[in-house]
């Protein structure tokens, strides 16, 4: 870890929404290692408490379904009671599935993906901004996907939810780019990862659909999946002091997936 990032993040509190498994847990672990008091949010209490125990350093787990705005408000009320201040937020919770052509796409699948990946982040974002703007130097990173910029057949709900998340990120960045009389600026960026090992891509799922796994590798210029630590490093960069002039960016962390197919 670059020394500048270490100095910039230590002692400043963070919340990782969707920090109980996969990429989110790796991000939460890096923040905790840097000395940041960390809270993680997820639906599954057993999984969340186990993750908090792994993080150590008095990490806090808060149970919440971000698809329900009342649940999100209750979670952030608890966060505000437990943390004196909040400096950083990472919105990593996301769901996939329900792959089908639009003409056969199930309404419940469309609603579920939009509710979590897009509306859920909005419910969190508005509470995070309210808390973070009370202290200077705060930042937020949303975890989007390279799919948010690509028309991938059979994935209309996922790509649409992540495309909406990209613009939500940029509007939040512009609205909070400068200090106001009643609050400080907050930088808001997103990472757009390509395929990552772990998380949604469990070894069982990859093995169950070898053609799809091979295809993901084929269309990635670097011909491999990312390690979650590689994506976490980009999230840490966007939160840290090396990125103080970066806001409204959607940073591809995708091994060249989006840039080209040649
Ligand atoms: N894996 C990839 O290849 C890949 C590629 C590009 C982008 N991404 C994005 O990266 C993010 C993390 O993916 P991952 O692969 O690490 O997935 P994961 O292991 O399934 O983790 C998802 C996290 O989100 C939480 N979550 C899901 N629905 C939630 C809800 N309604 N309310 C609160 N928390 C919820 C989960 O906790 P609970 O289950 O306890 O709720 C878990 O902590 C997602 O946004 C995904 O779209 C992943």
Ligand 1 centre to CA of 176 (Å) is 26
Q: Does 60 have pLDDT greater than 80?
A: yes
Taking CA atoms, 186 is separated from 41, 47, 192, in Å, by 21, 31, 20
- Following DSSP, what letter does each residue of 186-214 receive, concatenated? EEEEEEEE--BSBTTB-HHHHHH-HHHHH
Which ligand 1 atom is nearest residue 40's CA?
Answer: 43
Q: Is the CB of 69 under 6 A from ligand 1?
A: no
Listed residue (48, 70, 111) closest to 40, CA to CA? 48
Q: Is the CB of 93 under 6 A from ligand 1?
A: yes
Give me the pLDDT at residue 7, please. 53
Write down the domain spans for the chain: 3-254
Q: What does the mean pLDDT of the chain come to?
A: 95
Q: In what order do the strands lie in the sheet with 186-193?
A: 60-63, 38-42, 14-17, 88-91, 138-143, 186-193, 250-253
Q: Does 3 have pLDDT greater than 60?
A: no
Encode pLDDT of 176-208 as tens digits: 999 999 999 999 999 999 999 999 898 898 999
Averaged pLDDT, 249-258: 97
Q: Does 66 have pLDDT greater than 50?
A: yes
Which residue has 């093995």 as its token pair?
Answer: 207
Q: Is 158 a catalytic residue?
A: yes
* CATH number, domain 3-254, options 3.50.50.60, 3.30.450.40, 3.40.50.620, 3.40.50.720: 3.40.50.720
Q: Does 155 have pLDDT greater than 90?
A: yes
Give me the pLDDT at residue 57, please. 82
Ligand 1 centre to CA of 40 (Å) is 12
Q: Does 127 have pLDDT greater than 60?
A: yes
With vertex at residue 99, the alpha carbon angle to CA 98 and CA 102, rounded to the nearest 5 degrees, is 100
R_g over Cα of the chain: 18
Ligand 1 centre to CA of 108 (Å) is 18
Answer whether 112's CB lies under 8 Å from 95's CB. Answer: yes
Residue to mutate, 16, 17, 18, 209, ligand 1, most ligand atoms under 8 Å from C-beta = 18
Q: With left for phi above 0 and alpha for psi between -120 and 50, is residue 154 left, alpha or beta?
A: left
Q: Does 42 have pLDDT greater than 70?
A: yes
Q: Does 260 have pLDDT greater than 60?
A: yes
Q: Does 2 have pLDDT greater than 70?
A: no
pLDDT category of residue 226 using cuts at 50, 70 and 90: very high
- Nearest C-alpha to atom 41 of ligand 1 is from which residue? 43
CB-CB neighbours of 216 under 10 Å: 17
pLDDT category of residue 1 using cuts at 50, 70 and 90: very low
Q: Is the CB of 228 under 6 A from ligand 1?
A: no
Ligand 1 centre to CA of 17 (Å) is 9
The span from the first CA to the last CA of the chain, in angstroms, equals 34
Encode pLDDT of 110-120 as tens digits: 999 999 999 99
**What is this structure's pTM?**
0.97
């Amino acid at each position: 870890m670059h020394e500048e990032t270490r100095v910039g993040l230590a002692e400043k509190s963070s919340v990782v929404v969707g920090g109980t498994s996969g990429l989110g847990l790796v991000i939460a672990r890096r923040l905790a290692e840097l000395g940041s008091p960390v809270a993680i949010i997820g639906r599954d209490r057993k999984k969340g408490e186990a993750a908090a125990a792994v993080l150590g350093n008095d990490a806090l787990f808060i149970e919440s379904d971000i698809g329900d705005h009342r649940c999100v408000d209750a979670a952030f009320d608890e966060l505000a009671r437990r943390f004196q201040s909040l400096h950083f937020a990472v919105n990593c919770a996301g769901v996939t599935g329900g792959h089908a052509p639009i003409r056969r796409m199930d309404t419940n699948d469309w609603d579920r993906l939009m509710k979590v990946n897009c509306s859920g982040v909005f419910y969190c974002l508005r509470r995070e901004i309210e808390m973070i703007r009370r202290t200077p130097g705060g930042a937020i990173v949303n975890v989007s996907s390279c799919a948010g910029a690509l028309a991938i057949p059979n994935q209309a709900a996922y790509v649409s939810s992540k495309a909406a998340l990209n613009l939500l990120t940029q509007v939040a960045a512009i609205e909070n780019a400068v200090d106001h009389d009643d609050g400080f600026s907050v930088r808001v960026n997103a990472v757009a990862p390509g395929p990552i090992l772990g998380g949604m891509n469990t070894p069982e799922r990859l093995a169950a659909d070898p053609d799809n796994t091979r295809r993901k590798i084929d269309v990635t210029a670097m011909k491999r999946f990312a390690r979650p630590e590689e994506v976490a490093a980009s999230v840490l960069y966007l939160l840290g002091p090396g990125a103080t002039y970066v806001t409204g960016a959607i940073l591809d962390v995708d091994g060249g997936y989006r840039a080209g197919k040649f």
